[in-house]
Amino acid sequence: MEEFEKALKLQPDMSSIRFDYANLLADKQRYDDAINQYKEYLNIHTNNSIAFLNLGIIYEKLGDYNSAIEMLEKGRVVAPKDLEIQKELAKSYHLIKQYDKAISFYDNLIANDPDNPELLLNKGIAFHAQKKYVEAIDLYKLAIERDKYNETIKDYLLKAYMSQGDSYFEDGSYRKAVTSYENALSMDKENPLIYINIANSYDKLGSKSKSVEYYEKAMEIAPENGDVLSSYAQTLTKNDKPEEAQSVYEKAIAVNNPDDDEKFNYYSSLGDTYYKNKNYNAALIEYKKA
């Protein structure tokens, strides 16, 4: 470090020394100093794409993505076919949520490297963020074909199926929601939330027996999960099984130990089950708790 500083004092116009010094400062994580040295260098060598690339990467590490994009775009003007610059631009645009611009860079990068699972994954994530789940799922599947043992990609695919199912459910497309959730279930058969989501979808479709079937599967996996218990109890209540619902609610309360904000829902629902069983005194006790 001292040698570079001495050399620059003796020969301040020796730009090759300044560039190497900037690289060293960046490696040492002295980012502010590195930025200053790169900018001094670029005052003379305005067409050095590597300096612009290095500056962009430093700004990314500092979380200043707008400055990163500014430097990287200048580098792209100098070297329009530089794939490393395009990769960093895709990353920065992605992180500031300008997904269309990120996707345009991913497209070009994938055209040059179609078997790169990381690029396929990142493009899929950008589509996922835009709620374009079909496109995201297709890309995740392609990425898995290229890297069959990548658990990160599989996790994103699972999340995409779940997000797609949630979107269909919110739109009232309950049959499609079931399909999406079942795709998720094929990847993670031990996740009680997926069974609950399928159960809720069947409930909306009016298929009470299927709804109860999936709630019971969730109960088998997570018998002490308060959310599973309370959801199952609600379904039993709607299906005119108040005695069963009552016992499940009681267990849910014991497991969850609900806070003040949750108590109303728990105790009022439990009170409803007692009321349906014509146990009015017990119902009144629970309503008072709520």
| pTM reported for the whole predicted model | 0.80
Per-residue model confidence as pLDDT tens for the chain (290 residues):
556 554 554 555 556 777 887 898 999 999 999 999 999 999 989 999 999 999 999 999 999 999 999 999 999 999 999 999 999 999 999 999 999 999 999 999 999 999 999 999 999 999 999 999 999 999 999 999 999 999 999 999 999 999 999 999 999 999 999 999 999 999 999 999 999 999 999 999 999 889 889 988 998 898 877 778 877 777 777 777 777 777 777 777 677 665 655 556 666 666 777 676 677 776 666 666 65
d(CA 180, CA 178): 5
Q: How far apart are CA 276 and CA 83, in angstroms?
A: 68
Backbone dihedral angles phi then psi of residue 97, each to the nearest 5 degrees: 70, 25
Please spell the DSSP secondary structure of 242-266, one letter per residue: HHHHHHHHHHHHHHH---HHHHHHH
HEC string for 183-247: HHHHHCCCCHHHHHHHHHHHHHCCCHHHHHHHHHHHHHHCCCCHHHHHHHHHHHHHCCCHHHHHH
Domains of the chain: 114-188 (1.25.40)
Asked if 81 and 89 touch (Cβ cutoff 8 Å), the reply is no
Ramachandran class of 97: left when φ > 0, alpha when ψ lies in -120 to 50, beta otherwise: left
Contacts of 78 (CB under 8 A, 6+ apart): 47, 48, 49, 52
